[in-house]
Chain A
Amino acid sequence: MSGPSPFSNPDDSEEPDIFETAAGAGPGAGTGGTNAGGANARIPTPRSSVEDTGRPLPDHVPEPLVLDHRVLKSLLGAWALAACSAEESFAVEDHLGDCGPCAEEALRLRDAVSLLHAEESLDLDPLLRARVLEGCLTRRPPRIPVPDWAVAYDAEAARLDALLQDIGDSEWHAPVRLRWYEGDDRVSRKTTVAGVLTHLMSVDGLVAVALGLDDPLFGMAPEDRRTPESRTESFWRASHFPPTRAVRGPWRDQSHAVIRTVSFAADASGSAGRKDRPSGQLPVSYGDFTLPLRDAMLDRAFECWVHAEDIAEAVDYPYEAPSPRHLNRMIDLAARLLPGSLAGRRRAGLAAPARGLVAAGAPGRTLRLEVEGAGGGQWLIALDSPGAVGSAAHEVAHVALDGAEFCRLAAGHVTPEEAAAGQDGDREAIHDVLYATAALSRM
């Protein structure tokens, strides 16, 4: 970091002959010549011929061109890269025998060529991020932490961003079919990889708006930015051209801004002494329903993962499930939303009526949802009313399924019939809960 580079403005400088004065400052200077047998003269002799470099010579020896020193010198880069004509190469090599400074530079540039190599696309292990950040935060605890309910979103956005970094321009236009449930119908919508990201940005915007950040749909009619679906459709409609990779920057900027803002928001509610209430209760409107911020962030984390899988599938990349800790929180959110989803289907006449009235807060008929695998667990789902409390003593049915399968069902990617679930007990209750899980999906 000490001195400024000799190239303070390479574009403006004209033919900087930096090496005509820098001869001799080669590597090895300063490492000492104490080794008795060591050949300490590794500095090339100025007049060594290009034949010594071991490079193949031109097939035939053409007529030498007559070029002046200035032109020959300007050719050194092209010569070192074998990017000039055979005649020019020959003229340069001829010149190197007579001109010390040019010979010196020629060798240096040839060495530099050997440093060029194709960029390897090294995939950074996505799990490294969590390990590095955790290590840092243990060493120096943060004054403003990212709330634990926002960490999953932070991690999922970073994972998706890493995938997007690796995909080529054309892959941004690869077709993707978004799938979800409306009532008992599976619906789908065709878009592209870039379109999926636009969708994520539009819906993340609901959280941004709740936090007082800019709405990416600023300026559009209120009805067009009310629900996840209307926001997405109007964003797609409003752009004259199909979305491209250019959406990555704004999407990422918004997700970073959301994480930063929720950190400060959670901190403010904590220091205000509201220990009686967990942080993150700010309501986030999805148009037809509302979630507290802490759940909205889990919802966005879930959606980010689900759509990252859509993208990965479209461009044929592998994509892992979230870390078990984050997956567990996402499953927990879905399990908590199930009684409400079930009640909604009941109102729409899509699920069997409740078997009895249960007072709010009282235990009622219960289905035990057992999610297997890393991140899994057991949840007691109240069947008769969202206000009722699930209770092991009132268990009427038991469903067991794999964590990833449960999430695919909640995302609308598999049907309740396809979902491989172990079932035991009240068949109607099981049927209704599996359909209520699929009904959690949306565009």
Chain B
Amino acid sequence: MAKETPTRWDRRMQQRLAHGEAAALGELYDRFASLVHGLAHRVLGDEDAADRITRDVFTHVWENPEAYDPKQGPLRSWIATLTHGRAVQRLRQTESAALVRSGQGTTEDLERKVRHASAAARADYIVTAMPAPLRAALELAYFQRRDYRQTAVDLGVTEDEARRRLRLGLQLLSTAHDAGASGTPPGPPGYGRAL
């Protein structure tokens, strides 16, 4: 049970799912449902739609556990990528339908909206997955309105280091804007292995 390295947990989970163990599916849900639902909700802004994506993603993983390649990165980022792709696809579908129906707005507006939602979801993931020291620095500076000198004191690091962490944290976060919003392979950055 406990004291497993994440990689081992991922591999074992994959084997158990492949073996058809319903209890493993429950554990998978318990670990990742809030991630999946949260990302889908960030993209789609709708509870029911996020529920549907959650169902789709877990069904996909349960039916295709072998599609996960542990060499490509953690299970968590694979699942995040799946979620992101599906949610963005869904957003584009509903927005296109709305566009056709109402005749208002342009394809460009649609793409901007999709891009915006996509980046917001990726940013959420990046924040939760970034190294804890960077996240702590951003939290102090942004949410608690501490300047970088106070941040340095709070974290017990030099002012140089505080500046470095704030800059690096934002640099990581800014990659959420990278890549097309399509969510199609090769997949969006931000769910990569290093995070």
Contacts and interface: CB of A to CB of B under 8 A. Distances in A.
Given A137-B22, A158-B29, 14 more contacts: A19-B171, A27-B119, A35-B108, A38-B108, A78-B148, A85-B147, A111-B174, A112-B171, A118-B143, A122-B38, A132-B29, A132-B58, A146-B22, A256-B30
Nearest to B63: A140
A140 B62 CA distance: 8
Interface stretch (A8-16, A317-325, A364-372, A428-436): A8-16
Contacts of B22: 133, 137, 142, 144-146, 263
Nearest to B148: A78
A115 B119 contact: yes
B112 to A, nearest CB: 9
Contacts of B172: 7, 10
Contacts of A165: 34
Interface string B61-90: 011000000001100011001000000000
A91 interface: no
Nearest to A2: B186
A1 B73 contact: yes
Contacts of A135: 55, 58-59
A215 interface: no
The 8 closest A-B pairs by CB, nearest first: A77-B167, A143-B20, A2-B186, A5-B192, A77-B166, A115-B123, A142-B22, A112-B174
Contacts of B108: 35, 38
A31 B180 contact: yes
Contacts of B194: 4-5, 7-10
Contact of A256 (B20, B23, B165): B23
B187 to A, nearest CB: 5
A139 interface: yes
A5 B195 contact: yes
B20 to A, nearest CB: 3
Interface string B103-125: 00001100100010001100100
A131 interface: yes
A405 interface: no
B26 A133 contact: yes
Given A26-B177, A27-B177, A125-B51, A109 B1 contact: no
Interface residues of B, number: 81
A80 interface: yes
A250 interface: yes
A30 B21 contact: no
Interface string B134-177: 10001001110011100100000000101111111111111111
A218 to B, nearest CB: 14
A124 interface: yes
Given A109-B174, A137-B25, A78 B30 contact: no
7 contacts: A5-B195, A28-B111, A77-B168, A78-B148, A111-B174, A132-B55, A256-B1
A260 interface: yes
Contact of B148 (A83, A158, A161, A253): A83
Contacts of B41: 122
A112 B176 contact: yes
A393 interface: no
A2 B127 CA distance: 21
A1 B68 CA distance: 11
Contacts of A254: 1
A128 B177 contact: no
A75 B166 CA distance: 9
Interface in B16-40: 19-27, 29-30, 33-34, 37-38
B131 interface: yes
Contacts of B38: 122
A165 B141 CA distance: 26
Given A9-B194, A10-B168, A109-B174, A1 B55 contact: no
Contacts of A30: 180
A164 to B, nearest CB: 12
A111 B83 CA distance: 24
Contacts of A116: 123, 127, 138, 142-143, 173
Given A11-B133, A78-B167, A144-B21, A83 B151 contact: yes
A199 B165 CA distance: 43
Interface in A126-170: 128-129, 131-133, 135-137, 139-146, 154, 158, 161, 165
A108 B174 contact: yes
A145 B21 CA distance: 6
B21 A78 contact: no
A154 B22 CA distance: 11
Contacts of A27: 115, 119, 177-181
A74 interface: yes
B33 A124 contact: yes
Given A158-B26, A253-B2, A5 B189 contact: yes
B192 A249 contact: no
Contacts of A5: 175, 189, 192-195
Given A1-B191, A76-B167, A128 B33 contact: yes
A81 interface: yes
Residue of A9, A19, A113, A131 with most chain B CB atoms under a 10 A cut-off: A113
Contacts of B47: 125
Interface in A215-274: 249-250, 252-254, 256-257, 259-260, 263
B21 A143 contact: yes
A77 B187 contact: no
B143 A136 contact: no
B195 A1 contact: no
Contacts of B51: 125, 128, 131
Contacts of A113: 142, 170
B77 A1 contact: yes
A161 B33 CA distance: 12
B54 interface: yes
